[in-house]
């Protein structure tokens, strides 16, 4: 590698590394604000579906890989609303914060107002 190439690589590293570190810091900060399912919500959901089983279809493996925190729901699989009786049992979330809890294949998904995934529950339906 020539001296010029080494200098160019060093310059690019000096410019990119601080931006990458800042982006990682922002990701950590937003994960600290994580508002996923509480243990109380998890217990209510599991007990409800143990007492009121429903038929669900497993998600295709390619869709499962795309269920990530902070990403939108992948297209192609219809989401289902939670039963109204369960919705009434769930405690209210923070005032002013809009969330949606939905059934997506064989998972329960918590979405924020913009439709981004906040949390995903697996194994709720006995699978």
Token readout for 96 is 């002013």
Q: What is the pLDDT of residues 27-86, one digit of tens each?
A: 433 444 557 999 999 999 999 999 999 999 999 998 888 888 889 988 888 899 999 999
In this structure, are 91 and 102 located in the same domain?
A: yes
In this structure, are 4 and 39 located in the same domain?
A: no
In this structure, are 60 and 100 located in the same domain?
A: yes
In this structure, are 11 and 53 located in the same domain?
A: no
Q: Does 99 map to a domain?
A: yes
Please give the pLDDT value at position 34: 55
In this structure, are 17 and 51 located in the same domain?
A: no
CATH code of the domain in which 78 resides: 3.10.450.160
Write out the DSSP string of 102-114: EEETTEEEEEETT
- Please state the length of the chain: 127
What's the domain range around 11?
A: 1-33
Indicate the pTM of the whole model.
0.69
CB atoms near residue 106 (< 10 Å) = 18
Instruction: Quickly state the pLDDT bin for 2 (edges 50, 70, 90).
Output: low
């Amino acid at each position: 590698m020539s001296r010029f190439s080494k200098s160019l690589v060093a310059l690019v590293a000096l410019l990119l590394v601080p931006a990458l570190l800042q982006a990682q810091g922002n990701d950590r900060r937003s994960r600290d604000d994580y508002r996923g399912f509480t243990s109380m919500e998890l217990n209510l959901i599991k007990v409800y579906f143990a007492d009121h089983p429903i038929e669900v279809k497993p998600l295709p493996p390619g869709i499962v890989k795309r269920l990530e925190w902070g990403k939108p729901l992948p297209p192609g699989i219809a989401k289902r609303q939670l039963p109204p009786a369960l919705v009434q049992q769930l405690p209210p979330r923070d005032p002013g914060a809009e969330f949606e809890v939905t059934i997506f294949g064989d998972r329960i998904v918590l979405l924020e107002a913009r439709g981004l995934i906040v949390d995903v529950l697996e194994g709720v339906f006995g699978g």
